[in-house]
Each structure stands twice: as C-alpha cells, then as structure tokens.
Amino acid sequence: MTIGILAVVAVIAAIGLIYLQFPQFGQKPNGERLERIKQSPNYRDGQFQNISPSPVLVEGYSYTTVMYEYLFGRTPNLTPSAPIPNIKSDLKSLPKEQDLLVWFGHSSYLLQLDGTTFLVDPVLSGYASPSSLLTKAFEGSNVYQVEDLPQIDYLLISHDHYDHLDYETITKLKGKVGTVICGLGVGAHFEAWGYDPAKVIERDWWEEITFDKEVKVHLTPARHFSGRGIQPGKTLWTSYVIETQSKKIYVGGDSGYDTHFAAIAEKFGGFDLAIIENGQYDVAWRNIHVLPEDAIQASKDLNAKTVFPVHSGKFKLANHPWDEPYLRISELANTAGIPLVTPIIGQLVDLNDSTQTFPKWWEKVK
C-alpha cells in the first residue's frame, strides 16, 4: 500500500512538473538578466523584497484556515447574478488629441495622454489563471478582445500574476505594441513568448524612462509579491508614475498599504489621477492588498485629485461579495471628499472633464 501511495504521489508530481513547462508559465530570469537583478538593492536572499516585512498572511491567520474559508466559506453574493453592464466603444477611432481612459474590468485599462497610448495589465482572455477552466470572468465583463484595441505605444505590466499578465492576451498583442515596460525580470516572460528583446524595457524602483514628446514613465515601489510558478519573488512588482506635458497619473498595480505612497507623493508632488486597487482583498492578506479604508488613506497620501478604484468587477479572487468594494469605497470616498472615477466597462472617461459623472452601475446588478 505504501509503495502504491508513493507511486501515485510520484506520478502527480511528474505531471505537475510537466505542466509547469507549458508556455503560459513563462520563463525565470537567467544569464545577464539575472545578474542585473542581483545588483538591485531590492533583491536579497535570492528574491525581491518589500520595503517593510510583508508576510502574505498577517499574524493570527494560517494558510489552512484561509484556504478552508476560501473553498468552503458561505459568503453570499460572491458573483453577480446578472451580467456586468458594458459599453462597446470603437477604440480604433478615438481622437488622438483627447485625454481618455477606458476600463476593461479588473485592473486592465487603456490610457490616452497627449496623443500617447498606454495599455496597463491587459487580461482579455476571459480567465485569470494558467487554465481557461479556472477563474473565469463574470458574464458581461469580457466584451473587449485584442482585435478591438488600437495600436499601443506603451504596454505597462505591474507584475506577473495571472490576473495582470495574461499569456493569451500578450501573445495576441505582439504586433500591436511599440514598447513593453515592466519590472526587473518580467521581461523574461516576454522574451520566451517571442517579443523582440529590444522592445522590452525592464527597470527597478525609482528608475525613470524618458521618451519622445516629453513622456516619462517612472517605476515606483509597491507592497506585493510576484511569481507564476512555485518560486515567488524572482521578478519585481511595481507601481508607475506617468508624466506627460499635461498630466501626472499614478498607476498603482497591486499593493498593501505602507509608507511608499507618501514617499511617492513627496517625490512627485501629487497626481491628477491615482489608480488604486480596491477589491479581491481580505483582512488576512492586508499586507499585500489594501482594504477600502487603506485605499482611501493611500489616496490621501498620494495627494490625488481624483481616484479610479480597480481590481474588481471581473474576477472572483477573494471571499467578499462581488460588489462590496464599490459599496465600501463609495461611502468612504464621499466622507473623505475624494472624487471617484467609476466607469462602466468600455465607457470613455474624459480626463479633462472634472464634471463628468458616473452611474453607480453595481447597484443595478442584482
């Protein structure tokens, strides 16, 4: 019996190792890329580190209890019972002179600033995992495909988790992207997926990239982690600051609350718009994902004129009601006097119109 059990375990392990060789898992950094990583002040003990100690689970929680709650918890309303509303805009005909934002659900969105087009963390495959059978998008939330997108000047990737770096989307985007910008090590995935290394720029926190038209992209800290296989921390997670002649935008990626928000504001002096995650959170992993009240404090720290809450409305990745992030942050932002940008998927957000209003669309999804 013991030999039989060991044989079954060995077969399962072998299957797992073979599966991890599939292309969607990407490639670990090696060679010159790894040597560059080892020079980073943020890389210690064989992996990237956060500014503050950041165990995935806060004190008092265990992986066993958290996993049990996720799998067998009875939280109501985890997924919407009706389709997520959307608007199908013609993105290829957007006037280049307009400063716009278009949200695709979760943390995927298009920015057009001073005639330059940015695409952030696009996940347009309809799922957020290595397999199309898992973590499927809510009905109505995946109406945009790569074929709907215009040419992209700059593709920004915050980190390599599956709900931010999607193999299917990225491979289809190959001919539409001018330049990829990512944290150290993430470029290994792009190279493995056939991207020209000359078009992939990898940088560390606090490093700056300057382009034509006086466009600057700065990599700034975040409090999170990374990894597509069984070894986390081999690539760098990051937030961004985009500076054009007329706008200053904070692109948050995923992050728990920490001192880096205030440090970023101290360096850049506040923002026209801060894009901050709000959703797929849990008190147990507050170190690496902000709760709504943390998102509001981060907005204050960043000295943001307006805030666009993301990381919700498309995938179930946590054990809270699907609409809770919107309900909580709307109330908190109203109390704090912080204007929110909460568009319907596909709605055109005019970044020069501070009077534009947005319906509380989540209240209509019952």
C-alpha 130: how far from chain center = 16
**What is the rounded distance in angstroms from the CA atom of residue 118 to the CA atom of residue 96?**
12
In this structure, of 60-64, 72-76, 99-103, the range with the lowest mean pLDDT score is: 72-76
* pLDDT of 336 above 90: yes
Confidence band for 15, pLDDT divided at 50, 70 and 90: very low
CATH number at residue 252: 3.60.15.10
- Average pLDDT for 219-240: 94
In order, the DSSP letters of 56-94 are SS-TT--HHHHHHHHHH---S-SS-SSPPPB----GGG-
Residue 4 has pLDDT above 60, yes or no: no
Measured CA to CA, the distance from residue 227 to residue 234 in angstroms comes to: 7
What values do phi and psi take at 350, rounded to 5?
-85, 110
Residue 99 included in any domain? yes
Q: Is residue 26 part of a domain?
A: no
Q: Does the residue 32 lie in any domain?
A: no
Q: Residue 110: what are its φ and ψ, rounded to 5°?
A: -110, 135
Please state, in angstroms and rounded to a whole number, the distance separating the CA atoms of residues 174 and 193.
9
What does the pLDDT read at residue 13?
44
pLDDT at 345 over 50: yes
Give a yes or no: residue 46 inside a domain: no
Is residue 150 included in any domain, yes or no?
yes
pLDDT tens digits along 242-251:
999 999 999 9
- Decide if pLDDT at 16 tops 80: no
Residues 6+ apart with CB under 8 A from 242: 111, 113, 118, 215, 216, 217, 218, 248, 249, 251
Q: Looking only at Cα atoms, what is the longest distance across the chain? A: 71
Where residue 279 falls among pLDDT bands split at 50, 70, 90? very high
Structure confidence at residue 212 (pLDDT): 77
User: How far is 273 from 245, CA to CA, in rounded Å?
Assistant: 15
Specify which residues 136 forms β-bridges with.
Answer: 127
3-state class (DSSP) for residue 324: helix
* Mean pLDDT value across residues 37-43: 98
Residue 302 CA to residue 255 CA, distance in Å, equals: 14
Which domain, by its residues, includes 345?
78-364
**pLDDT confidence of residue 231:** 81
Cα separation, 64 vs 202, whole angstroms: 36
311 within a domain of the structure (yes/no): yes
Write the burial class of residue 16 (CB in 10 Å: 0-12 exposed, 13-18 middle, 19+ buried). Answer: exposed
Mean local confidence (pLDDT), 30-44: 97
Residue 12 amino acid letter: I
What's the confidence (pLDDT) of residue 312? 98
- Indicate if the pLDDT at residue 193 is higher than 80: yes
Q: Is residue 41 included in any domain, yes or no?
A: no
| pLDDT (0 to 100) of residue 39 | 97
What total of structural domains would you count in the chain? Answer: 1
Average pLDDT value over all residues in the chain? 93
The count of other CB atoms within 10 Å of the CB of residue 172 is: 17
Query: Look-up: residue for tokens 């770096």?
Result: 165
pTM, rounded to two decimals:
0.94
Which whole number is the average pLDDT over 204-221?
Answer: 93
Any domain includes 34? no
